[in-house]
A and B are shown apart, each in its own frame.
Chain A
Amino acid sequence: MTDIALAVENLSFAYGAKKALDKIGFTVQSGECTILLGPNGAGKSTLFSLITRLYDSRQGRIELCGYDLKRQSLKALAKLGVVFQQTTLDPDLSVSQNLRYHAALHGISRKAADKRIQEELERLDMFERRGEKVRLLNGGHKRRVEIARALLHKPKLLLLDEPTVGLDMPSRQAIVEHVHALVKQQDLAVLWATHLIDEIAADDSLIVLHKGQIKAKGKLTDVLQATNCADAGQVFQKLTQNPEEQKYPAGHKGSQV
């Protein structure tokens, strides 16, 4: 089994005449957290819609754990866990009922599902609240439940689409730490879309997406070096505000694309 969890090659997508993604390509490895950084309208949501097969790509290719998303979509999707930007829990059902529903969709038996639910909820200190209706949980706790849900079927790749939007600082911090711990402990591959710079850890990989094109990709340290920036905030500013003026010295691992 390859350790490339996600491979995107030459991917383009347009809404009518409007190009949303323009020949982008990158990989996400197991045990690696890749931050997809881009302003609103950069194409992050379109990319996520393509990876989750809400839309189909007519040009380019997406592979999940070696499975072609178009031709072997069911095998590919089995490897994928997703936390969408909007909460997708049923507010009138309890935490357990929501998680059992997800487990059923992935063909997990009731007994095995209950065991997995306990494991994942305990890891997030939410097991005691499994009987509560989701409506009664605060935003941070809902997100924790959604992360637990995305991991129930033990995916190889976790997609997070701006999961911390609207949360307070402690909740955001808890989620950032939890996800980074998962990457290390479980060899999970994570693709995390955000526009919040402080969610990036020092050893993360970075992809800067702007107007449907990848402006930089690589390990954070390499991208900083390539762009002569002190931090990710500067990189973001530099690449998304004056993209035409920025050229980088050759020979760096982190590169402009």
Chain B
Amino acid sequence: MRVLHYWRAMTGIVGREVLRFLHQRERFISALVRPLVWLFVFAAGFRAALGIAISPPYETYILYEVYITPGLLGMILLFNGMQSSLSMVYDREMGSMRMLMVCPLPRWFLLCSKLIAGTAVGVLQSYAFLGIAWLYDIQAPLMGYVWVLPALVLVGMMLGALGLLLSSFIKQLENFAGVMNFVIFPLFFMSTALYPLWKIKESSQILYTLAQYNPFSQAVELIRFALYEQFNSQALIFTGAAFLLFMGAAIVGYNPSKGMMVKKGGG
């Protein structure tokens, strides 16, 4: 009976997110336009400037567009994770978060359900992007499209958990724009999404170290290897650990007695 309650609640939360998503088709389109501009404009422009040497998982010389495709998948999931938490800040300001928190289920479960709902949307967006990239002749092995699914789910959950953690600290929507700039840009640019690690090392040792330990780098590498039917255990462990860390902290953040909620709100 209890399990049934959990199941119904989770399908309710995911269903609501999907319904909202269907009502906001422009959100889907804008989420696709961003990486496509990078792919069609940025990558095409840099194709000549950045030669990519052979490095795993690639077995041959590749075009720059091929190199940044996993990074752009990471970008989709990163923006989606942040957008989901943006919607949670909105939900909290509008009060619907309170309604969720008052239902008789543990908070960790409610937050996980929210996370799964957000990740489902991000994975759909990622596959839509991969479909367009395929037409643009960026084609991975067929089985790669299957192997990449669990990688996309884990990365989506990790970045969503980071967003969730941030949303527990943010009181108002206005503050969120600043955090987006302070989180999204450093995560994205200090990672292997746009350039391989060895290339970063050539120019700066500090950047190299930062990029190496940036969880977003590991997430992108996990996707990159999976898309080419390879398993990167280091990236998996790192991404999984980052997920557990962010999720644990987010649950504490939303805990009524320990977290940030106590420090907010009026009398």
Could you tell me which A residues sit within 8 Å of B by CB distance?
15, 18, 20, 41-43, 45-46, 49, 52-56, 58, 73-78, 80, 82, 84-90, 92-93, 97, 100-109, 212
Contact = CB atoms under 8 A, between A and B. Distances in A.
A77 B95 CA distance: 17
Given A53-B101, A55-B256, A93-B20, A104 B15 contact: yes
A87 B20 CA distance: 17
Given A92-B23, A97-B19, A105-B103, A55 B96 contact: no
Given A93-B20, A107-B9, A43 B267 contact: yes
Contacts of B24: 92
A75 B11 contact: no
Contacts of A41: 267
Interface in B16-49: 16, 19-20, 23-24
B256 A108 contact: no
Contacts of A53: 101-102, 256
Interface of B: 4-6, 8-9, 11-13, 15-16, 19-20, 23-24, 94-96, 98-106, 255-257, 261-263, 265-267
B94 A88 contact: yes
Contacts of A43: 267
Nearest to B5: A107
Given A54-B261, A88-B94, A92-B20, A45 B100 contact: no
Given A104-B9, A107-B4, A55 B106 contact: no
Given A18-B267, A100-B12, A105-B12, 5 more contacts: A86-B95, A89-B96, A90-B20, A104-B8, A105-B105
Nearest to B262: A55
Contacts of B8: 104, 107-109
13 contacts: A52-B98, A55-B256, A56-B262, A74-B106, A77-B103, A84-B98, A86-B94, A87-B95, A89-B96, A92-B23, A101-B16, A105-B100, A105-B103
Contacts of B263: 15
Chain B contact residues, majority secondary structure: helix
A154 B4 CA distance: 19
Contacts of A45: 265-267
A96 to B, nearest CB: 11
B104 A106 contact: yes
A46 B105 CA distance: 22
A240 B18 CA distance: 48
Contacts of A42: 267
Given A55-B265, A58-B257, A105-B12, A82 B102 contact: yes
Contacts of A76: 104
Contacts of A104: 8-9, 11-13, 15
Given A55-B256, A74-B106, A104-B15, A82 B20 contact: no
Contact of A75 (B12, B94, B95, B104): B104
